[in-house]
């Protein structure tokens, strides 16, 4: 009985032999997700702008997802080596905090990377993803709230959240599910300045019901769930992984 139940749960949450594309896979959240999909016995293609990465157990392609030709080449490479994709994880993202009226702040670059490139990736990969597949977008609690000195990041993540709902509607005819993982404060190179500032770190931790910063590994369970048959009736939804930060009242 115990063995039968274990096999049931293993199959329900299984991504074994699934073909998974992960953008932003050279570091941070994307690297962690790509690595753990491999541990779950999926076949993973990781994409990143870094030319080479030191340690990985997945196929890695150096490419710039803001360039349509790079996306087309990625699709053709996948088609030549694998069956069609089952899962796309859009994890690539950038951030920059300007001063007020900073003329050097590249608002367009942030939107192009965090929002437009995700749309282009999804559209380009439609020829290479199976009906019944799953697309997982990594947004942020910044898609819900206002934060200071980060207009490009907040706008891009808010737009990405809305894009997910739009794509969930449009791709439902192919039974492709599209969902968001919504991280809170996760310790990565992107958040290192505020994490290393003791006052800022404590300020952020004071709102967390689970009283610690998130680690990239905290997002793995949500990603496996959304990629697997366990979430087969979920689309256009948000899974918030923020230690309770966003729901704390007084």
Query: pLDDT band for position 99 (50/70/90)?
Result: low
Average pLDDT, the chain: 92
Q: What is the mean pLDDT of residues 152-176?
A: 97
pLDDT digits (tens, 9 = 90+) for 43-70: 999 999 998 887 778 999 999 999 999 9
Catalytic residue annotation: 153
* Sign, Cα dihedral of 68, 70, 74, 80: positive
State what percent of residues in the chain have pLDDT above 70: 96
Lowest mean pLDDT among 96-100, 180-184, 243-247: 96-100
- What's the whole-number mean pLDDT along residues 216-236? 98
- The pLDDT, as a whole number, for residue 181 is 98
pLDDT digits (tens, 9 = 90+) for 3-23: 666 688 889 999 999 999 999
Q: What is the pLDDT of residues 176-219, one digit of tens each?
A: 999 999 999 999 878 788 888 888 888 889 999 999 999 999 99
**Local confidence band at 121 (pLDDT 50, 70, 90 cut-offs):** very high
């Amino acid at each position: 009985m115990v063995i039968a139940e274990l096999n049931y749960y293993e199959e329900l949450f299984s991504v074994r032999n699934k073909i998974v594309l992960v953008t932003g896979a050279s570091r941070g959240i994307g690297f962690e997700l790509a690595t753990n999909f491999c541990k779950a016995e999926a076949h993973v293609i990781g994409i990143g702008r870094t030319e080479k990465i030191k340690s990985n157990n997945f196929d890695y392609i150096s490419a710039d997802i803001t360039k349509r030709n790079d996306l087309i080449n990625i699709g053709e490479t996948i088609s030549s080596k694998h069956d069609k994709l089952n899962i796309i994880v859009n994890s690539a993202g950038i951030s920059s905090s300007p001063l007020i009226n900073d003329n050097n702040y590249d608002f367009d670059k942030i939107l192009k990377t965090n929002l437009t490139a995700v749309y282009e990736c999804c559209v380009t990969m439609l020829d290479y993803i199976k009906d019944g597949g799953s697309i997982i977008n990594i947004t942020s609690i910044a898609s819900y709230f206002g934060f200071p000195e980060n207009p490009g990041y907040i706008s891009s993540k808010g737009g990405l959240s809305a894009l997910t709902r739009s794509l969930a509607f449009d791709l439902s005819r192919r039974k492709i599910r599209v969902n968001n993982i919504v991280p809170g404060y996760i310790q990565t190179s992107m958040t290192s300045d505020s994490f290393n500032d003791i006052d800022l770190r404590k300020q952020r931790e004071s709102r967390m019901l689970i009283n610690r910063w998130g680690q990239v590994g905290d997002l793995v369970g949500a990603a496996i769930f959304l990629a697997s048959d366990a979430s087969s009736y979920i689309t256009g939804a948000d899974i918030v992984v923020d230690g309770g930060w966003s729901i704390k009242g007084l």
